[in-house]
Amino acid sequence: MADRIHPMPAPPPPSSSPPPGHDAAVATETTPLHPSFRGAPPPSPGTYIIQIPKDQVLRVPPPDRARRYKKLAARPARRRRLRHACCGAFCGVLLLFLLAAAFVGVVYLVFRPRAPSFSVASLSIRGLDALAVSSLTPQIDAAVRADNGANKKTGIDYRGGGEVTVSYSGERLAAGPWPAFHQAPRNVTVFSTALAGGGVSLTEEQRKRLAADQAAGAVPLAVDAIVPVRLRFGKVLRTWTVDVKARCEVTVNKLAAAPASRECMVKVRPLWWWW
């Protein structure tokens, strides 16, 4: 009896597609199929993750930029110190100004300082000839009256270097010194000073005008004074030296006589300028 051969079932054909779950396993072991926006992928086995705080990452620069970082970080501190110094200096200056203003105000209220008054007591003129053709050398003796009667508590120190001048029709005739002396409160002082001039040349028009004024018995003259003055409050307190300017318009009937004059105009700076 012949052996019978039974056909074996054919093996299943090889499939090109992997079994289910194989792709997911391969993708997990290698790289993700698409980027995830929900978080970082889990680390592979044997990997350690060290988390650094965000502020520490931002505040600790790399070693190669540490110097520049330190310089840039120090700028705000320097600016703050500079602003504080400027504010402190401004406040100090403002405080000193307020204290000085308060001090001047108190002194003014206590002493009530007033400017002195001046007048010309007499004039004696020699060497002024209206008919002279050559240059003139006038000689003038002037008596000036300084009145400090308006000040009850304030003395006046007339410093050296003051000057008194006499002019006619805008032409300077002679000049002399203002003496230095101290004038007590409520004091009136009359002093004499010698004025000298040289090389004075009057124009033809000025000569004619001077001759007419002499014939009429009214020769107008201007007496100007610039005097360095310092106020004295009590025995210790004194102000800075300030120039006081005075101008006296006088009229004499003769060139050697007492003038007919009014009170001189005095120009002085305000009290706050004296400090």
Tell me, what's the pLDDT at 26? 47
pLDDT digits (tens, 9 = 90+) for 212-226: 988 888 889 999 999
- The residues facing 177 across adjacent strands are 163
Average pLDDT, stretch 165-190? Answer: 93
Other beta carbons less than 10 A from residue 247's beta carbon: 13
DSSP strands (E only) in 50-137: 117-126
Q: Is the pLDDT of residue 177 over 90?
A: yes
* Res. 114 pLDDT band, cuts 50 70 90: confident
Domain range list for the chain:
72-111, 117-274
| Mean pLDDT, all residues of the chain | 78
CA atoms within 13 A on the CB side of 7: 3
pLDDT digits (tens, 9 = 90+) for 20-53: 555 544 444 445 555 555 556 666 776 666 666 6
Show Cβ contacts of residue 225 under 8 Å, excluding neighbours closer than 6 positions.
118, 144, 162, 163, 164, 165, 178, 245, 246, 247, 248, 264
* Res. 125 pLDDT band, cuts 50 70 90: confident
Instruction: Answer yes or no: pTM beyond 0.85.
Output: no
Tell me, what's the pLDDT at 222? 92
pLDDT digits (tens, 9 = 90+) for 202-251: 888 998 998 898 888 888 999 999 999 999 988 888 888 889 999 998 88
Average pLDDT, stretch 76-97? Answer: 84
Q: Is the pLDDT of residue 6 over 70?
A: no
Least confident of 135-144, 192-201, 229-238, 266-275: 266-275
Tell me, what's the pLDDT at 267? 77
Q: Is the pLDDT of residue 87 over 60?
A: yes
Least confident of 62-66, 131-135, 201-205, 249-253: 62-66
Tell me, what's the pLDDT at 157? 94
Which residue is listed with tokens 């000569």? 207
Percent of the chain with pLDDT over 90: 25
Q: Is the pLDDT of residue 135 over 60?
A: yes
Average pLDDT, stretch 65-84? Answer: 70
Q: How far apart are CA 26 and CA 114, in angstroms?
A: 109
